[in-house]
Amino acid sequence: MRVAVVGATGLVGRTMLRVLEEKIAPNTPIDVIPIATRRSTGKSVFFFGRKYTVRAIDEGIPAVDFALFSAGSEASLTYAPAFVSKGATVIDNSSAFRMDPKVPLVVPHVNPEDIRDHQGIIANPNCSTIQMVIFLKPLLDAFGIEAVDVVTFQAVSGAGYKGLFALEAEEDGGFYDHTPFAKRIHRNVIPQIGGFKEGYSTEEWKMINETQKILHTKLRVNPTAVRVPVKVGHSEAVHILLGSTPPIEDVYRVLEKAPAVVLLKDDYVTPMDVEGRDEVFVGRLRFHPDNPRLLSAWVVADNLRRGAATNAVEILQLLMEE
């Protein structure tokens, strides 16, 4: 099986290689083709004990079975169709095709059936959206949901290596010239991820729109997305108005059976606790004292794995099963 990873030297690209190594390579030999922009050629990456030299994206499109893209929207728009016309199925982690009605937007634990209608490209959702819908889906099915208020605490690695470098430089008393953040992030929090349109940031619009597409409902999500000085791990305070009033034990029962969910009930984890894990950790579950439909939770996941690479590789596994 030939698999190209486009953006192989980025944070998510490297994590994709690691997750492929762990989950696919032991059973299905993979011939991996790491690809990046001109800037990164000459670099090499290790995969399953072998060293691979990174190839430049403009050197020509190789024929592969699957291509995992995580090199930004522009690279996806330019090169993904070329991979498809050479026979590949593309799993794209950028936002380029996510809201395209012809492209399925898939979280295998939530809407695996949507993958069937693909025309060569399957979109991997936004990191904050993936961990939220994995938590929401079983509740939606069991109890109905009328509205969701969500506030995110997003790690700097969500902005790639530049985000990590910015935090580290500032911690050392310096400043990183290519910081992706609008303000200093060390000892600070910044309520802006992407640009603003009608008052909501790009990240917030993704959570509003992608959630509806994945869950096939007009569910109203009201997000505030905030960058925090954490390296890896997105946390979300999720406040849900359910469509019914189940006892908390029924909520526990549903979430205990939910795929990819670790239920912590009253307890909680912090982002520092979940680095390297693939599950979505759901804690601090509680109903409001004055409203038995208002359920709140603290939801944490590794943004590079669960929020990006692991979901992409699970899409690949779904495609392999077909």
Active site residues: 127, 234
Closest to 254 measured CA to CA, from 277, 279, 285: 285
Q: What percent of the chain is helix, strand and coil (3-state, nearest 5)? A: 35, 25, 35
Bridging pattern class, strands 89-92 and 31-36: unpaired
Q: How far is the CB of 55 from its own copies (least distance, A)?
A: 35
Q: Which is nearer to its own copies, 48 or 287 (CB)?
A: 287
Closer residue to its own copies, CB minimum distance, 65 or 149: 149
Supply the minimum distance, in Å, between the C-beta of residue 199 and its own copies: 3
Q: How far does CA 8 lie from the centroid of its chain? A: 16
**Least Å distance between CB 28 and its own copies?**
37
Instruction: Please identify, using beta-carbon distances, which residue of 84 and 226 lies nearer to its own copies.
Output: 226
Least distance from C-beta 235 to its own copies, angstroms? Answer: 6
- Are the beta carbons of 297 and 282 closer than 8 angstroms? yes
DSSP-derived letter for residue 155 is -
Gap between the Cα atoms of 234 and 246, Å rounded: 28
Return the number of other C-beta atoms located less than 10 Å from residue 83's C-beta: 25
> Which of 139, 143, 133 lies closest to 109, judged by CA?
133
Q: Which is nearer to its own copies, 120 or 191 (CB)?
A: 191
The residues of the shown chain that bind its own copies, judged by CB under 8 A, are 149, 151, 153, 167, 171, 183-184, 187-192, 196, 198-200, 208, 218, 220, 222, 224, 226, 228-231, 235, 237, 239, 266, 268, 270-273, 283-291, 294, 296, 298
